[in-house]
Structure 1
Amino acid sequence: MNFIRFVKGSIQLFFRGTKTYYAWLLFLFVLIVWGAGGYAGQLRDGLITTNMRDSVSWAFYIGNFTFLVGVAAAAVMLVIPAYIYNWKPIKEIVIFGELLAVCAVIMSIAFIVVDIGNPMRFWHMLPILGTMNFPYSMLSWDFFFLLAYLIINFVVVSHLLYAIFYKKEYRKKMVLTIVFISIPMAVGIHTVTAFLYNALPARPFWNSALLAPRFLASAFCSGPAILLILFQILRKITNFEIKDEAIWRIAELMVYAMFIYLFFTIAELFKEFYSGTQHLLYWKYLLFGIGDNKELVPYSWLSIGMGFAAFILFLIPKTRKNFVTLNIGTVLIYSSVYVEKGIALIIPGFTPDVLGQIYVYTPSMTEIRTAVLIFSLGSLLFTFLVKVAIAIIFENYNIGSIRGKEESVRIQA
């Protein structure tokens, strides 16, 4: 009964807010309707409405899936200093990292659903109920890790909010145990995602032992970048107090991740260009183009430029602790990783194809609208969850007052 009251009180918070809050919800609702129209066309006519073909069978959907898995894994950047080292400034805000992880995993699974065409095929990815082809299918391993990571983060954040809701101490032993499990799981979800690419020997562009470490390093850049922007917005529009010290520390951790990411990338480029094998063809297509086909060249160098500029801004303490340059850096690193995962990772792996042909892929309007649908639904869920968390933790919203009214009515009766 206590948990039911907690859920009811939380849902009531969804419908309370300022005009800005309702305007944001309306904006997301419009995007959801627009995106749903595109996905409805894909359900009606099939994947032919996308620009994916035999030559490029993974594309925009899988790129977004890979990016969001990285965002979900980045929650560990807050979990380790908060719970393992008990650092209080970050411990106060780690819940938002876990909420972001929950929403990111849900969105990444949604991209799998839209990519497989008929959503009924997703039935076969469900453990026990479906035929996952476990343990031979790498996708089944990936889904297993994602589902486990989703459950872990949801249990932790629900228990913490529930304990604060009833002004109780959370079960430290249980939470710490789950947190210790979540750390290797966070590494595992992006590692297994990288193994999806490594498991395709016919695609030499992805056959690198550094792919999984590069995935993790880029994830520890893009995920915290979202949180840095979120924390500053929350400080402006709510009574939520976040210490500058916590923001500076997260930014400092991002510097280390960016350095490792750049180092791995340089090491990979040296190996490919110094050896000069036939497999260099895919990197040439990405960075310089092949003949007249230079479609990806601007995007690849834009991603590299934005990533390097963000690294410089975060590396220098003066610019890292200036909110203007800090925000510029967060936008740059987020955009850099998104372009790298969405375009510079997927397309070169298929181009040229096994017959040496170059199929110029660009996302169709159906793919763009479907992606907007998923991101809008994820943003809506994240908005609701953050609103509940802020109300319970920082605005001292006593959902228990609802409980008190119910108790008084019961006593009077």
Structure 2
Amino acid sequence: MPFALFLLGVAVFAQGTSEFMLSGLVPDIARDLGVSVPSAGSLTSAFAVGMVAGAPLMAGLARRWSRRGALLGFLAVFLAVHVVGAVTDSFGVLVATRVVGALANAGFLAVALVTAVGMVGPEATGRATSTLLGGVTLACVAGVPAGALLGQLWGWRAAFWAVALVSLPAVVAVARSVPAGTAGSERPSLRAELRSLRSPRLRLTLFLGALVNGATFCTFTYLAPLVTNVTGLGGGWVPVVLALFGAGSFVGVALGGRLADRRPGAVLAGGGGALCLGWAAFALGAGTPALTLGLVLVQGALSFGVGSTLISRALYAAPDAPTLAGGFATAAFNVGAALGPWLGGTAIGAGLGYRSPVWVSAVLVALCLVVAGVRRGMTVPAECGGNA
């Protein structure tokens, strides 16, 4: 993989830390700003809504910008809103910064995906995608637990300052490593890309990705209260649990990237079934510390292994829409990231307890398997590259 691709991962690391870090900060934000835990959890949904709205829009706008200029502009906005978020005392303003930051993140990721794929041959799309998404998993391994630790030591605002600081070297890395070519150079017209998005294969892949990511975020957003209130571990264990999930996700992306170009069917079918069973086992055994710690690791690996494979399949499903396919893949996965926390928060608010988001995750993956099973003879084999 080109070294510049790893440098793009530095920026994705900063953005992934921001997107995921609220899992360890939700109780503190709720207490400090005087809102409920489900309301604080909605900050994750607000970020996801911004990603959903921003991904296709920013992808379309960035087609005619230079790649370097687009990436740097998105990073500058992302950095600025985290400074605002770190100093505000208004929950409404904090929600607004999450949405604007997500718009910038969406634009960056849409351009970064097409840039990453353009750095390698078409046969390595899965590996390039997984390498870029490695920044997200490293955010889970290091950034999110560090954010939770900073929140415990100096308050949740310290985590926002840390994201802003980490974004600075990312700006330098992008400025020095990314070619200044036009984001839309040597690509089909916007109308041609839009026509390619009508593909049933692409729509199915995006729908399945939304379900899988919804399941991931549903549980991940409420891991902190689950660990402290159900598992019975102290608050000091929260960063450890988040790190375990991140370590699993790193393994899942690494393995998924190697298999996505060769055996995508096995990853999606086998991994999806194991993921569903794992969420159910997690819900049943959440009161047992050893089982919880083990399943957090396993579910992180399965969630990101299946999820990253679906992203690469979306790019394969729309080869004539390289820019917008990345944008719509980002949007679809963040539909899940918005839906999951909302469903989990609704279940908690209904008095079903902190295990309920895990059960919701199991149901979402089960629905994914049912849809894939119904379409297996028609669409899914093509989605999986025909080599399942």
TM-score by length of 1: 0.31
- Higher-Rg member (1/2): 1
* Structure-2-length-normalised TM-score: 0.33
